Structure 1
């Protein structure tokens, strides 16, 4: 079984600058129920169908499969719930780990989130200076939730 152990943090905009060009992501949800989400995503020139289970602490099951880009684009345009998630993803290496930094656009403009995938929930890791408050336990920051209630409509983060 595929398992994802991930911690999520806000990024301090004034302290972080991308070191590469990033990759454009467009993603949408075919299903967003409490026990699972089914996501379609294009990332650069690739596309994926992903099924994620319910989160327990910072761990959840995850299954991801490559699909034809043309199929993904049709699903995003015709089948996925609205709004879609649009973001640019950057990778940053720090302390022996790869951090992904997502800069959101569209209805989630203004939100920047960093994620780190770990081998265990107890794994110790170094935190870059641009890292802000941890939001791993706040479901509002799940992409599936951001597609239901975008950041741009929040009263305060």
Structure 2
């Protein structure tokens, strides 16, 4: 079984931009509203994925991800999503052996920037970069599935 152990943080400043090794524009939408899992489709313009995550919010969740044809993803995003799509730029930063994914949101979530890091286990120690701010791993407002229903601009 696939397990995602991920922590989310706000950013203290913009100095992380100096460390970005690459960036991808991502578009994603959710295919369900209820139940024990969120099902989303996402693409970066080159590859597309179907992702299923347990609805349990927190640091550790079940997660399954499968690559799908780009045409299928575009059709799902155009015709099958529940609510608006999430539009964001994901920046990749490597620091002390960890890959940080920093999501800079657009559209109704413009102004929100969140850093995520995947860990091997929940208690894994890691060095906090200077640009890291408050941890929001347990705040459901910062989960993409929540941002579809109540965008950052409505807080």
TM-score w.r.t. length of structure 1: 0.93
Counterpart position of 2:54: 53
The runs of 4+ residues in structure 1 deviating greater than 2 Å are 12-16, 18-21, 54-57
Q: Compare the two structures and name the one with the higher helix fraction.
A: 2
Secondary structure of 1:75's aligned partner: helix
- In the alignment of these two chains, the number of paired residues is 154
Query: CA separation of 1:35/1:80 partners in 2, compared to 1, >3 Å: closer, same or farther?
Result: same
Match in the other structure for 1:26: 27
1:126-146 CA distance string (max 9 Å, x none): 111111100000011000100
Q: For the aligned residues, what is the CA RMSD?
A: 1.4
Residues 12 and 132 in structure 2, CA contact (< 8 A), matched pair in contact too: yes
Counterpart secondary structure, 2:17: coil
Q: Within 5 Å, which residues of 2 pair with 1:2-151? A: 2-17=2-17, 19-33=20-34, 35-55=36-56, 57-151=58-152
Distance between the aligned counterparts of 1:92 and 1:128, measured in 2?
Answer: 11
Q: Which runs of 5+ in 1 are unaligned?
A: none
Superposition TM-score, scaled by structure 2 size: 0.94
Q: For each residue in 1:77-102, what CA deviation from the matched residue of structure 2 results, as whole angstroms up to 9, or x when unmatched?
A: 11102221000001101121110000
